[in-house]
Structure 1
Amino acid sequence: MAIALTGCAYQATPLKVMPPVAMQQPAAPDPHWDGLAEKVARHVQAGLAVAPDQPVTVRAENSSPFSRALLSMLKTHLLALGVPVSEGHALMEVRLETQVLPYHGKTAAYPRNGSGEGVKDGTEVLVNTSLTQGGRYLSRTSDLYYIEGADAALYLPAAPVYGKTIQVVGP
Structure 2
Amino acid sequence: MALKTAMALAAGLVLSGCAARYTPTPLAANFPTTKQAKLQAAYHWGVVSNSIEKRLVAQLKKSPPRPVFINEPADSNAFQRALVTQLTTSLVNDGYVVTRTPAGSLKIDLDIQAVTFAADRPQYRPIGERTALPGGVSMAELSPTPMSDEDAMNAGWDPYDLNNAQFAPGQTPKTEIIVTLSVSDQYRYLARTTSAYYVADSDRELYGVLEQDAELTKLTRTFKVRGDM
- Tell me if both proteins adopt one fold, taking TM over 0.5 as the criterion: yes
Amino acid at match of 1:100: A
1:77 and 2:77 matched: no
d(CA) in 1 for partners of 2:110, 2:70: 8
SS at match of 2:177: strand
TM-aligned CA distance change 1:56 to 1:153, over 3 Å: same
Q: Which residue of 1 aligns with 2:116?
A: 102
Q: Which residue of 1 aligns with 2:76?
A: 63
How far apart are 1:49 and its partner, in Å? 1.4
- Name structure 2 gaps, 5 residues minimum: 1-33, 128-144, 147-170, 211-229
- Counterpart selection for 1:37 from 41, 49, 62: 49
SS at match of 2:39: coil
SS at match of 2:38: coil
How far apart are 1:157 and its partner, in Å? 6.7
TM-aligned CA distance change 1:135 to 1:157, over 3 Å: farther
What does 1:129-168 align with in structure 2 at a 5 Å threshold?
129-156=181-208
Q: Residues 120-141 of structure 1, C-alpha deviation per residue, up to 9 Å, x if partnerless?
A: 5431011001111224111111
Superposition TM-score, scaled by structure 1 size: 0.69
d(CA) in 1 for partners of 2:61, 2:181: 16
Superposition TM-score, scaled by structure 2 size: 0.52
Give the conservation status (yes or no) of the 8 Å contact 2:99–2:105.
Answer: no
d(CA) in 1 for partners of 2:41, 2:108: 22
Q: Count residues in correspondence.
A: 136
1:123 and 2:137 matched: no
SS at match of 1:53: coil
Question: In terms of mean alpha carbon deviation, does 132-141 or 94-103 score higher?
Answer: 132-141
SS at match of 1:70: helix
How far apart are 1:147 and its partner, in Å? 0.5
d(CA) in 1 for partners of 2:101, 2:126: 47
How far apart are 1:113 and its partner, in Å? 5.2
1:23 and 2:75 matched: no
Question: Identity of counterpart residues, as a percentage?
Answer: 25
Larger C-alpha radius of gyration, 1 or 2?
2
- Name structure 1 gaps, 5 residues minimum: 1-21, 159-171
